[in-house]
Amino acid sequence: GSEVDVDPGVEIDEENAEDDLLGGLQIDSTDDIEVPDRLVDQVIGQDEARDIIIKAAKQRRHVMMIGSPGTGKSMLAKAMSQLLPQEDLQDVLVYHNPDDGNAPKVRTVPAGKGEQIIDAHKEEARKRNQMRSILMWIIIAIVIGYALLTANILLGILAAGIIWLIFRYTSRGTDAMVPNMIVDNGDQRQAPFEDATGAHAGALLGDVRHDPFQSGGMETPSHDRVEPGSIHKSNKGVLFVDEINTLDIRTQQKLMTAIQEGEFAITGQSERSSGAMVQTEPVPCDFVMIAAGNLDAMENMHPALRNRVKGYGYEVYMDDTIEDTPEMRRKYARFVAQEVERDGRLPHFTDDAVEELILEAKRRSGRKNHLTLHFRSLGGLVRVAGDIARAEDREHTTRDDVLQAKQRSRSIEQQLADDYIERRKDYELQVTEEAVEGRVNGLAVMGEDSGIMLPVMAEIAPAQGGGQVIATGKLQEMAEESVQNVSAIIKKFSDVDLSEKDIHIQFVQAGQQGVDGDSASITVATAVISALEDIPIDQSVAMTGSLSVRGDVLPVGGVTHKIEAAAKAGCDTVIIPKANEQDVMIEDEYEEMVEIIPCSNISEVLDVALEGEPKKDSLVDRLKQITGTALDRQQAV
């Protein structure tokens, strides 16, 4: 999708495009935006992956796509199937083998031909059956006629019945003549696309059904029980396998054989079924494979299969975010139009509803001047918002609907975090009015997109032996690291010998799963210094940031979510790393609730967080002298 096509009459305001959330797109609603026909033109971002797909389609090469879920891997695989030539499509028929009932024959014919063959066979079988029943009725008539003549009616009826049964149960034999079309491309307008994600062996490689009767005239002929696998259905098309590493190793091995040979015989996959006795002639499976997964998937993939893809194809990494440009925003507007049309029932979005979505895409990127490429969840938001408008029978989906949808489509982590905050409010564990020594409101991220406030407490006690850092829970390692980083600074300004002290650090109520403490080192440092120097901390302040040994505040992830969590918890000041200043994309409602103070050095953090002059001022002054460049100089000596 190079550019966004709009209906004639709709213009792009190039002059103001830079500042406009819609990139200068002059639309009333997404109804004005034209959606490209080809899927490959609908793909937004992922330029490298797109180019590779186009190239690989021309050369019929396999592709390995690694990246986050919902960034367009299966969409690109489907797009590739639209690019493959459809002339080569084939139908596959399985025939009864009169020499060996358990080794059905396989024939491949051009697409559309299969149906004609089946029809011809059916017609022949029908004629044969007709002849048989005529024959049967003639014999019955003769028998009954003879019985009437000899006045032996009972015997006559009995004989007729037996004849009828014999004909009835031998008629199966004629069905055996009709082949079983396992791959039917007669109506196929494009090369097939098969998604074999999570498929079990039978679904992937084909199977032969069990026959409970097996003999006695009731059995289903073996060729009729043959079922194709995704590898066969995707012949001449695309086989997409996401989470490739979840296929068991034996199946991966067979998949590799299939790729090498271009054909693969079908046999019953379950060993104790009668289907396991059946094995067809090889069935064509000349597909292009698109294997996908996250980085993990690549490591756990069968090495030979990986090499196969690598040696005969391409590997590509999917992007998570893309630079925010006017052109890109116009494409995001088109994304909304695409999703609305794909769903078919949602009302189109007004211009300001689209703007709100683009804002959300900015926010979710968590990166300065970028938009998120996690389209599946963004698409989910479009659908929820559209559903709200549809439920009220409105013509358009509005900005309000998008805002409501955001509230509704909170992730599990977000719901958990909100619930957690609610519950903590009950216990009054949140913000208190007065200043407290050794207690800091830290901030963490749960899951991907949920901030949470996580108070940290530090207590200093004389050591029993050598001084230790003692932390509760799983955050021990992180606590030790933070204390280590801050100890270089403490040594410089304090008489206290840390090696003679035990530092207890408690992460209040941090038993929570998924809480990432990685970015809490300024929090721990602040708590320790406060406890050490007996200077209280303002409890209306929350903070996040990583600390270097020199006292620099380093950037962290998820600042937007963290700030929002602090605001929700009732803080009025949030300290963030200066380097994260551009990543802040909080929603309007929070902007008035909190003041954000970017800091680049621990002395600035303490200046904001500590209370109680003059003790505090002298501490901050001392710190200013020894941290940052001053510390550099000292260390250089």
Please report whether residue 36 would count as binding ligand ADP according to CB under 6 A: no
CA 282, 275, 235, 247 dihedral sign is negative
Q: Using the rule CB under 6 A, which residue among 376, 408, 474, 633 binds ligand ADP?
A: 376
- Which of 35/623 has CB closer to ligand ADP? 35
Number of residues that bind ligand ADP (CB under 6 A): 19
Tokens of 379: 């698409």
Please report whether residue 58 would count as binding ligand ADP according to CB under 6 A: no
Please report whether residue 335 would count as binding ligand ADP according to CB under 6 A: yes
Please report whether residue 38 would count as binding ligand ADP according to CB under 6 A: no
- Which of 48/632 has CB closer to ligand ADP? 48
Which residue in the shown chain puts its C-beta closest to ligand ADP?
72
Burial (0-12, 13-18, 19+ Cβ within 10 Å), 54: middle
Applying CB under 6 A, the span of 65-73, 136-144, 177-185, 274-282 interacting with ligand ADP comes to 65-73
Please report whether residue 321 would count as binding ligand ADP according to CB under 6 A: no
How many Å separate Cα 547 from the centre of its chain? 33
Q: Using the rule CB under 6 A, which residue among 23, 24, 45, 536 binds ligand ADP?
A: 45
Please report whether residue 570 would count as binding ligand ADP according to CB under 6 A: no
Please report whether residue 44 would count as binding ligand ADP according to CB under 6 A: yes
Applying CB under 6 A, the span of 105-113, 370-378, 524-532, 558-566 interacting with ligand ADP comes to 370-378
Please report whether residue 282 would count as binding ligand ADP according to CB under 6 A: no
- Which of 73/308 has CB closer to ligand ADP? 73
Burial (0-12, 13-18, 19+ Cβ within 10 Å), 396: middle
Query: How far apart, in whole angstroms, are the C-alpha atoms of residue 213 and residue 345?
Result: 48
Please report whether residue 314 would count as binding ligand ADP according to CB under 6 A: no
- Reference 22, options 385, 325, 384, 395; nearest CA is 325
Please report whether residue 473 would count as binding ligand ADP according to CB under 6 A: no
- DSSP class of residue 285 equals -
Dihedral angle of Cα 305, 310, 312, 314, to the nearest 10 degrees: 130
Helix (H) or strand (E) holding 436: strand 436-437
Q: Is 491 a residue of the active site? A: no
Alpha helices in 459-614 (DSSP H): 476-493, 521-533, 559-569, 588-591, 602-609
Q: Is 546 a residue of the active site? A: no
Q: Using the rule CB under 6 A, which residue among 29, 30, 46, 485 binds ligand ADP?
A: 46
Residue 175 CB, nearest distance to ligand ADP (Å)?
42
- DSSP class of residue 400 equals H
DSSP character string of 347-365? PPBBHHHHHHHHHHHHHHH
Residue 372 CB, nearest distance to ligand ADP (Å)?
11
Tokens of 326: 């006017």
CA 551, 556, 562, 564 dihedral sign is positive
| Residue 200 phi, psi (nearest 5) | -80, 170
Supply the residues annotated as catalytic: 519, 562
Binding site for ligand ADP (CB under 6 A): 42-46, 69-75, 242, 335, 339, 373, 375-376, 379
